[in-house]
Amino acid sequence: MGIRGFVPFCPWNWCLLLATLQCCGASSELNRSTDSSARRELNVRYAAASSQPAETISVFTLDYDYVQIPYEVTLWILLASLAKIGFHLNRRLPGLMPESCLLILVGALVGAVIFGTDHKSPPVMDSSIYFLYLLPPIVLESGYFMPTRPFFENLGSILWWAGLGALLNAFGIGLSLYLICQVPAFGLGDINLLQNLLFGSLISAVDPVAVLAVFEEARVNEQLYMMIFGEALLNDGISVVLYNILIAFTKMHKFEDIEPVDILAGCARFVIVGCGGAFFGVIFGFISAFITRFTQNISAIEPLIVFMFSYLSYLVAETLYLSGILAITACAVTMKKYVEENVSQTSYTTIKYFMKMLSSVSETLIFIFMGVSTIGKNHEWNWAFICFTLVFCQIWRAISVFVLFYVSNQFRTFPFSIKDQCVIFYSGVRGAGSFSLAFLLPLSLFPRKKLFVTATLVVIYFTVFIQGITVGPLVRYLDVRKTNKKESINEELHTRLMDHLKAGVEDVCGQWSHYQVRDKFKKFDHKYLRKILIRKNLPKSSLVSLYKKLEMKQAVEMVESGVLSSTAFSTPRRAQRTQETKRLSPEDVASMRDILTHNMYQVRQRTLSYNKYNLQPQTSEKQAKEILIRRRNTFRESVKKGHSLPWGKPAGTKNIRYLSFPYSKPLPAGRDMKVAEFTDHDGSDSELPPITFNTHSPTGTIQERRWTPEVIPMKRLHGAGTPLHFGYRRNAGREEHLGRGGRAILRPKPLFHAVDEEFESEEESEEETPAFGSLLSSELRPGGDCNVSHSPLLQRK
């Protein structure tokens, strides 16, 4: 805050700063903890200095007016970011309430400070700023992160629900409020029908992003999630279009009466605005995808292309009076798929983060504005209007949900249950969109604008705080059908098989469904679109190999400096190992699922991770992990080949098994020692599920031989090294698992070290000498016997 500069300052300059001081004092209120005392001090000096003349050239001046707007905006965003950090540092809070609650609270706080200091907040929000700068990033972000496949699978229902639902809500609320306004006792006679309809349209714009976070946590079923997501995506667009048309009507109404033709024209316009916008979006999406095809040498420009073209689509659509929102959404959806393949990995990451950042900045600003305008004198409280607004919002949402879903359920094979509908009804949380639209109402046309703003704020506060906080418990209480997100590999395989089976049977009976539509599009896509839009020589694989070489170098360096003791996942993993010896680790399951998801023909992608405020660590972090793991793998390879180890032991197949002994010495003798010894021998049995397909059969006779081909080679699952390449870039989790052996070398830890190496040696030796297996089994018999008695001990380790 600028205040610190004043302290060493000469008194005669104070008068020059008269004007600026006031601003500073106000803005410094943002810095709540320090400023109150500082300001008092200032006021004292200010009083003393005011008598001085102001003619001299100042050595130090302060021009706060010049920087006021960006200065305060920066502070707001910073404050909101700090609040977010605090919010997420707290463990319980994020589970209790949505993040928008926090933003609103911060906004209200800022508003209170501004109000308390009589400071006039900078005019950040006006119609053109909102529509040209604040809205596009928000829409772009939600369009870009839309899970494409489930969206198009549920397209019919989404359009039906989001489109018609918004209209029904808007007109329902508008008309019923109009009826209320006719009651003379409420003193609302001057609000005419159009104004009511307009209010209805803006208040029906739901923003259920907060609900989505809850859904994701509760893992509700996919359809339900997509309904809400689709609503969030399309609702804004529809409300804004409706809002603009109604504003146009209102303006017209000033001069002449509206004729039925105009209403028809308005309806036609509604359609044209929507479709035209989407059309332009698709065109621009293709163009930008095409351009990114040629950017391989200047990849720094790639994010720029993406953002500029999306923005251009918005602007072009707006110039033509089409829906810019739909245009930018369509643009994002179209180009996403191709751009992702064209651009370099870093650009891709940049695009994603930048998008999140921009949209969160926009939203923060809107919420802070909301807070600022909550506390102030610009309110008009009318009990009747506000209460009825609240009631009608709920009633009409209930009506539209139950009616529309009743209708669409007639056509759906799997209908939405009453529970689902209840949750959809309850997730009608209003947000920044409604407020902005209300705030931007032209005062000249809407004399009761203050009332509208107040009513909107009340609805937003009610829905965000009460519904937003309680929707989580409600979902849990109703026990809504869960998604099949994180379950077992078996389930996943069955699902996949089922998917293909379904598609196949549909083919056999020659029926036509969205499976076929998608199939047709895919063929077209492969035949033409991809050839045109995507780079021919995707550098990914060669990049990876180059990368590996570099990593190899670095890995050696890192080992030498001892940096590689990453705690990130070594400790949790070990804990998991001991707890979950019976199951595959979740990482494995996840990576296997990834492979299944991304590498099969005609399957659904189940990536439904969406958070308005943050990116899931999924891709980027996985990549980082992969790099680390690659490092380890490559390093281990070098170790295997007999390169020198840091501790200078030759890494022979046999010798490596005894490497653990020097390290297990510190262990107390006796039982522990025995355990260590035992692990050394029979590691595979104790480390892996005891029920495993055991290589060492006790009898070791016919049965064993019979099952040999069926025996699962454990090392392949757990100890195997590089030959396992899962797909091209989705192998992080998997390799992490595989990399454990490498880590064991690097971070010697007696038990696990021995165990891991055991696998490796087994793998190698088994391939060389088939007889070794039986040798091993006979040799290890006693170990196998103590397996049962020792395994609990081991698991505690």
Q: Which of 82, 263, 418, 493 binds another protein (CB under 8 A)?
A: 493
Q: Which of 787, 793, 795, 797 binds another protein (CB under 8 A)?
A: 787
Q: Which of 379, 535, 604, 649 binds another protein (CB under 8 A)?
A: 604
Which residue bears the tokens 């018999």?
781
Q: Which of 310, 323, 694, 761 binds another protein (CB under 8 A)?
A: 694
What x-and-dash track marks residues 215-254 binding another protein by CB under 8 A?
Answer: ------xxx-------------------------------
Minimum distance, C-beta of residue 323 to another protein, in the bound complex (Å)? 23
Q: Which is nearer to another protein, 122 or 689 (CB)?
A: 689
Minimum distance, C-beta of residue 263 to another protein, in the bound complex (Å)? 27
**Cβ neighbour number for residue 65 with a 10 Å cutoff:** 11
Q: Which is nearer to another protein, 170 or 714 (CB)?
A: 714
Counting every residue written for the chain, the total comes to: 797
Check residue 514 for interaction with another protein (CB under 8 A).
yes
3-class DSSP state of 377: coil
Q: Which is nearer to another protein, 517 or 546 (CB)?
A: 517
Check residue 542 for interaction with another protein (CB under 8 A).
no
Distance CA 141, CA 329 (A): 8
Question: Are the CB atoms for 208 and 428 separated by under 8 Å?
Answer: yes
Check residue 649 for interaction with another protein (CB under 8 A).
no
Positions in 554-593 near another protein (CB under 8 A): 582-584, 588-589, 592
Minimum distance, C-beta of residue 774 to another protein, in the bound complex (Å)? 14
Minimum distance, C-beta of residue 542 to another protein, in the bound complex (Å)? 14
Minimum distance, C-beta of residue 604 to another protein, in the bound complex (Å)? 6
Positions in 715-754 near another protein (CB under 8 A): 716-717, 720, 723-728
The tally of CA atoms less than 13 A away on the side-chain side of residue 68 is 19
Check residue 770 for interaction with another protein (CB under 8 A).
no
**Cβ neighbour number for residue 436 with a 10 Å cutoff:** 26
Of the listed pieces 314-322, 324-332, 493-501, 530-538, which binds another protein according to CB under 8 A?
493-501
CA 479 to chain centre: 24
Helix, strand and coil content of the chain, in percent to the nearest 5, comes to 75, 0, 25
Minimum distance, C-beta of residue 165 to another protein, in the bound complex (Å)? 14
Check residue 609 for interaction with another protein (CB under 8 A).
no
Of the listed pieces 78-86, 279-287, 391-399, 504-512, which binds another protein according to CB under 8 A?
504-512
Minimum distance, C-beta of residue 690 to another protein, in the bound complex (Å)? 6
Q: Which is nearer to another protein, 136 or 165 (CB)?
A: 165
Positions in 420-459 near another protein (CB under 8 A): none
Question: Are the CB atoms for 200 and 170 separated by under 8 Å?
Answer: yes
Check residue 607 for interaction with another protein (CB under 8 A).
no
398 Cβ partners below 8 Å, 6+ apart? 425
Angle in degrees, CA 774, 761, 721, rounded to 5? 125
CA 787 to chain centre: 45
Angle in degrees, CA 584, 586, 587, rounded to 5? 105
Check residue 692 for interaction with another protein (CB under 8 A).
yes
Positions in 314-353 near another protein (CB under 8 A): none
Positions in 152-211 near another protein (CB under 8 A): 153-158, 160
Check residue 788 for interaction with another protein (CB under 8 A).
yes
3-class DSSP state of 220: strand
Check residue 45 for interaction with another protein (CB under 8 A).
no
Of the listed pieces 101-109, 672-680, 750-758, 783-791, which binds another protein according to CB under 8 A?
783-791
Q: Which is nearer to another protein, 253 or 500 (CB)?
A: 500
DSSP-assigned letters across all residues of 425-443: HHT--B-HHHHHHHHTS-T
Of the listed pieces 7-15, 61-69, 708-716, 765-773, which binds another protein according to CB under 8 A?
708-716
Minimum distance, C-beta of residue 684 to another protein, in the bound complex (Å)? 11
Check residue 763 for interaction with another protein (CB under 8 A).
no
Q: Which is nearer to another protein, 450 or 636 (CB)?
A: 636
Closest of 643, 612, 625, 600 to residue 745, by C-alpha: 643
Q: At what angle do helices 222-255 and 193-203 cross, to 10 degrees?
A: 150
Check residue 126 for interaction with another protein (CB under 8 A).
no
Question: Are the CB atoms for 161 and 210 separated by under 8 Å?
Answer: no
Check residue 782 for interaction with another protein (CB under 8 A).
no
Distance CA 714, CA 636 (A): 19
Number of residues that bind another protein (CB under 8 A): 94
Angle in degrees, CA 662, 665, 671, rounded to 5? 135
Distance CA 441, CA 439 (A): 6
Check residue 521 for interaction with another protein (CB under 8 A).
no
If phi > 0 it is left, if psi is from -120 to 50 it is alpha, else beta; for residue 340 that is: alpha
Q: Which of 397, 430, 496, 612 binds another protein (CB under 8 A)?
A: 496
3-class DSSP state of 772: helix
- In the DSSP assignment, the letter for residue 482 is B
Check residue 71 for interaction with another protein (CB under 8 A).
no
Check residue 795 for interaction with another protein (CB under 8 A).
no
Q: Which is nearer to another protein, 371 or 721 (CB)?
A: 721
Structure tokens at 226: 């997509």
First-to-last alpha carbon distance for the chain, in angstroms, is 54
Q: Which of 710, 789, 792, 796 binds another protein (CB under 8 A)?
A: 710
Closest of 125, 153, 156, 116 to residue 36, by C-alpha: 116
Check residue 792 for interaction with another protein (CB under 8 A).
no
Q: Which of 170, 784, 790, 794 binds another protein (CB under 8 A)?
A: 784
Helix (H) or strand (E) holding 692: none
Positions in 403-422 near another protein (CB under 8 A): 408, 410-414
Q: Which is nearer to another protein, 155 or 175 (CB)?
A: 155
Structure tokens at 2: 């600028």
Q: Torsions phi, psi of 206, nearest 5?
A: -90, 155
Of the listed pieces 5-13, 102-110, 194-202, 512-520, which binds another protein according to CB under 8 A?
512-520
> In terms of C-beta density within 10 A (0-12 exposed, 13-18 middle, 19 or more buried), how is residue 602 classed?
middle
Check residue 400 for interaction with another protein (CB under 8 A).
no
Minimum distance, C-beta of residue 501 to another protein, in the bound complex (Å)? 6
Distance CA 317, CA 281 (A): 8
71 Cβ partners below 8 Å, 6+ apart? 27, 64
Distance CA 464, CA 435 (A): 12
Q: Which is nearer to another protein, 53 or 709 (CB)?
A: 709
Check residue 117 for interaction with another protein (CB under 8 A).
no
Q: Which of 294, 521, 658, 707 binds another protein (CB under 8 A)?
A: 707
Minimum distance, C-beta of residue 295 to another protein, in the bound complex (Å)? 24
Minimum distance, C-beta of residue 471 to another protein, in the bound complex (Å)? 20
Of the listed pieces 8-16, 194-202, 342-350, 514-522, which binds another protein according to CB under 8 A?
514-522
Question: Are the CB atoms for 125 and 369 separated by under 8 Å?
Answer: yes
> CA distances (Å), 143 to each of 237, 366, 370, 514, 584, in order?
11, 19, 24, 22, 35
Of the listed pieces 48-56, 285-293, 434-442, 483-491, which binds another protein according to CB under 8 A?
483-491
| Separate counts of helices (H) and strands (E) for the chain | 38, 0
Q: At what angle do helices 135-144 and 324-342 cross, to 10 degrees?
A: 50
Distance CA 227, CA 168 (A): 16
List 206's β-bridge partners, or say none: 430
Q: Which of 689, 747, 764, 797 binds another protein (CB under 8 A)?
A: 689
Q: Which of 216, 340, 506, 766 binds another protein (CB under 8 A)?
A: 506
